[in-house]
Amino acid sequence: MRRIEADYAGVNADLDHGEGWITFHWFEIPSGGLMIDLDGHCSRGMPIRSGYGPPEFVELQRDAIRLRFNVELARKLELPEEIEIGFRMPDDEFAELRRVVDWFNGDGEFA
């Protein structure tokens, strides 16, 4: 599994309407970054690489998230099948990220 340190991590989601996204940006890798919208579409920077998932949200910690992509999605995104993304974000935004991950995993109040 590969670990990537995100220079920026953010979430903008309206779970009541199923709209929004999670985004991670990293600069150590050319065209680094990953965006996952609430429809399950995943995309990366320029050149654009994208595909439908969503990824499996394997584990969420206060400072990292572990994602698993199916083989086809990993190939399209040019990422390993499993990655861990380290990040820092304010407490209120982390709480929103937790809600979105729970929503995707079917564990949240919006599942």
Average pLDDT (56-74) is 96
Q: How confident is the model at residue 17 (pLDDT cuts 50, 70, 90)?
A: confident
Residue type, 26: W
pLDDT at residue 111 in the model: 40
Across the chain, what does the average pLDDT equal? 89
| 88 lies in some domain | yes
Per DSSP bridges, beta strands 2-5 and 82-86 are parallel
Q: Beta-carbon neighbour count of residue 44 at 10 Å?
A: 20
| 10 lies in some domain | yes
| 78 lies in some domain | yes
In the predicted model, is pLDDT for residue 32 greater than 90? no
| 110 lies in some domain | no
Average pLDDT (82-109) is 90
| 111 lies in some domain | no
| 16 lies in some domain | yes
Number of domains in the chain: 1
pTM of the model: 0.87
pLDDT at residue 93 in the model: 94
Residue range(s) defining the domain that contains residue 47: 2-105
